[in-house]
Amino acid sequence: MTDFNQLKQDLNSVSEFLVTLGDEKRQSIIIRLLSESNCDGLQVGELTEATGLSRPAVSHHLKVLKEAKIVDYRTNGTRNYYYLTHHTEEILKLKNFIDELLVVMEESK
């Protein structure tokens, strides 16, 4: 028997994460960071080139991604290098919600 109240709570708990991932500009930042093979991180200037966004816009989106624990940074002197974190809690919560949703959809066939 499906607990729809729990399913609703689970969806609510990942809603902010979905909003963060749903923005195309943030998606382009994530994709650019994913393509960085050496994992040393990228500076804001490199991300502005890759996304076509202004420096303030990239900084704003990086702040949102940091708050969602998708991106982190390291400092080297006066330079910040941004990279994808290895925090997977929110991704796993989203995966679990999707898994449960698939079970409910299969049951209703």
For the chain, what are the domain ranges? Answer: 4-107
- Residue closest to 62 by CA, chosen among 38, 54, 18: 54
Mean pLDDT of the 4-29 span: 94
**Mean confidence (pLDDT) of the chain:** 92
pLDDT of 2 above 90: no
Least confident of 12-16, 30-34, 37-41, 105-109: 37-41
| CATH number of the domain located at residue range(s) 4-107 in this protein | 1.10.10.10
Quote the CA–CA distance of 67 and 58 in Å, as a whole number: 14
pLDDT of 80 above 90: yes
Strand-pairing partners, residue 74, are 81
Kindly give the pairing relationship between strand 79-84 and strand 71-76: antiparallel
Quote the CA–CA distance of 104 and 65 in Å, as a whole number: 31
Of the chain, the percentage scoring pLDDT greater than 90 comes to 77
Please, which pLDDT band fits residue 109 given cuts at 50, 70 and 90? Answer: confident
Q: Which residue has the higher pLDDT, 50 or 47?
A: 47
pLDDT of 1 above 70: no
pTM: predicted TM-score of the whole model, two decimal places? 0.85
Quote the CA–CA distance of 4 and 1 in Å, as a whole number: 9
pLDDT of 96 above 80: yes
Q: In which region does residue 41 sit, left (phi positive, over 0), alpha (psi from -120 to 50) or beta (all else)?
A: left
CA dist 64 → 17, 20, 23 (Å): 10, 7, 11
